[in-house]
Amino acid sequence: MSGMHDVIVIGAGPAGCSAAICLCLRGRAVTILEKNRQPWKKLCAGGLPPKVVGVLPANLEGLVEQSVCKIRFGYEGRRSFELAFKRPVVHLVQRHLLDQRLVQQAVGLGARLVEGAAVVELQPEAQRVLVKTTKHTYQARVVIAADGALGAGARLLGHQGIRLCPAVQVDVKLSRRKMKPYRNMLACDFGVLPGGIGWVFPKRDRLSVGLCSFGARANLKAALEKYLRIEGLDSGRISPIESHPLSTWDGRRVFSKGSVLMVGDAAGLVNPLTGAGIRRACISGQLAAEAAHAYLAGGAVCQKDLASYDRRVNADLVDELARARLLARLFYRAPGLFYRIGVMNARINPWVGELLSGQKSYLEVFRELLSGGWISRPRPL
């Protein structure tokens, strides 16, 4: 058994690193337990809406491989059209390089990183939490569980209010000439997988091509092979298919148990409409760090400081997720219909870019949808 730690963070992804960085900046000693060893690879398309930049605790200098101002929408490769925006709607990075940058930042500020430490069980007790790894048992006054969709943190709350949506992705390496159509443009397809979404996210010399199902069970591998054919990418150098679930929000309101605070994918904070989760991973990591810092500063009697974490996540993140979930439930139930009347509607589709880039909130989109202006004055594409 280790000595008593003030804070242990489990997982060194965006949520864990954000929490660790925030705590280090407040002068706290932090230990990060990470099951992998560097360099590790988390399956991700690496899309960062510009509004992420404000909450990422490290700079993106040299990491952004493309900033896209165009989106090509399609429905099973048909009814496709391009939308152009004045400003970039998504910056694209290679995810493992982003994680490396975040880890360097945390360690540079004094966090202790223990690699190869897979946490198998969390045991919250009155004044401490026991953190059992495959090798050692640690004890800490506060634990921030940032161990993703399948980790011990999510298990502790029994995955209630989290919907694990299966996703697959490959990297396709292409010659410069074949990369040309994807310069400054990403592609989204809503029909290749019923109740799901397909994406082509371009990097400097490769494309991340993936699919996620938000609806019924489907053969994602076969659907991805079909999507690659539709996009004309099946002759490129394709990496083996990898899979990892998206930990989408499905009504959860509790994000802690005793002195264990769940953040990022461990809390199920992925957008159920788009599959994006990095921004909320960073924000929740910072909120948990602030709650842990207040708790440790006030002594063990200040359990209410930890409870404030649940309130802050509900206030800052959950309302927008609930609206995204409502939209997702409608959209993915009849994607063909909503693609025609929504995505292809020239009055509505600019909102997609505005939502992605953060210029518009889901609340504003709902208000505009309910105002009905987009129905009374239709404008053809």
Ligand X SMILES: Cc1cc2nc3c(=O)[nH]c(=O)nc-3n(C[C@H](O)[C@H](O)[C@H](O)COP(=O)(O)OP(=O)(O)OC[C@H]3O[C@@H](n4cnc5c(N)ncnc54)[C@H](O)[C@@H]3O)c2cc1C
Compute the least distance from the CB of residue 25 to ligand X, in Å: 18
- Amino acid identity of 249? W
What residues between 149 and 188 interact with ligand X by CB under 6 A? 151-152, 167, 169
Q: Which residues pair with 85 in a beta bridge?
A: none
**Cβ count within 10 A of residue 246:** 25
> Is residue 244 at the binding interface for ligand X, with CB under 6 A as the rule?
yes
Measured CA to CA, the distance from residue 118 to residue 84 in angstroms comes to 44
Q: Are 33 and 9 in contact (CB under 8 A)?
A: yes
**Phi, psi at 151, each rounded to 5°:** -85, -175
Measured from the CB atom, the residue of 198 and 345 that comes closer to ligand X is 198
Q: Are 172 and 233 in contact (CB under 8 A)?
A: yes
> Is residue 47 at the binding interface for ligand X, with CB under 6 A as the rule?
yes
> Is residue 264 at the binding interface for ligand X, with CB under 6 A as the rule?
yes
Near ligand X by CB under 6 A, which window of 6-14, 53-61, 317-325, 349-357?
6-14
What residues between 203 and 222 interact with ligand X by CB under 6 A? 210
Q: Are 364 and 320 in contact (CB under 8 A)?
A: no
Indicate the burial class of 122 (C-beta count within 10 angstroms; 0-12, 13-18, 19 or more). Answer: buried
Q: Are 244 and 42 in contact (CB under 8 A)?
A: yes
Measured from the CB atom, the residue of 23 and 44 that comes closer to ligand X is 44
> Is residue 147 at the binding interface for ligand X, with CB under 6 A as the rule?
yes
Q: Which residues pair with 206 in a beta bridge?
A: 173
- Parallel/antiparallel/unpaired status of strands 137-145 and 260-262: parallel
Measured from the CB atom, the residue of 20 and 179 that comes closer to ligand X is 20
> Is residue 34 at the binding interface for ligand X, with CB under 6 A as the rule?
yes
Cis peptide before 39 (omega within 30 of 0): yes
In the structure encoding, which two tokens stand for residue 18, read together? Answer: 């954000």
Encoded one letter per residue, x for contact with ligand X by CB under 6 A and - for no contact, window 95-134 reads: -----------------------xx---------------
Compute the least distance from the CB of residue 205 to ligand X, in Å: 18
Compute the least distance from the CB of residue 300 to ligand X, in Å: 26
> Is residue 246 at the binding interface for ligand X, with CB under 6 A as the rule?
yes
In the structure encoding, which two tokens stand for residue 40, read together? Answer: 């590790």
Find all residues with CB under 8 Å of 308, minimum gap 6, and list them.
291, 294
Name which position in 16, 57, 191, 353 contacts ligand X (CB under 6 A).
16
Find all residues with CB under 8 Å of 285, minimum gap 6, and list them.
14, 15, 16, 17, 18, 19, 20, 22, 144, 146, 263, 264
Measured from the CB atom, the residue of 249 and 345 that comes closer to ligand X is 249
Measured from the CB atom, the residue of 13 and 196 that comes closer to ligand X is 13
Name which position in 15, 71, 106, 113 contacts ligand X (CB under 6 A).
15
Measured from the CB atom, the residue of 15 and 64 that comes closer to ligand X is 15
Q: How far is CA 9 from the centre of its chain?
A: 18
Q: Which helix (H) or strand (E) holds 36?
A: none
> Is residue 277 at the binding interface for ligand X, with CB under 6 A as the rule?
yes
Measured from the CB atom, the residue of 182 and 345 that comes closer to ligand X is 182
> Is residue 281 at the binding interface for ligand X, with CB under 6 A as the rule?
yes
> Is residue 46 at the binding interface for ligand X, with CB under 6 A as the rule?
yes
In the structure encoding, which two tokens stand for residue 160, read together? Answer: 């209630």
Near ligand X by CB under 6 A, which window of 40-48, 63-71, 122-130, 316-324?
40-48
Q: What residue ranges bind ligand X (CB under 6 A)?
A: 10-16, 33-36, 40, 42-47, 118-119, 146-148, 151-152, 167, 169, 210, 244, 246, 264-265, 270, 275-278, 281
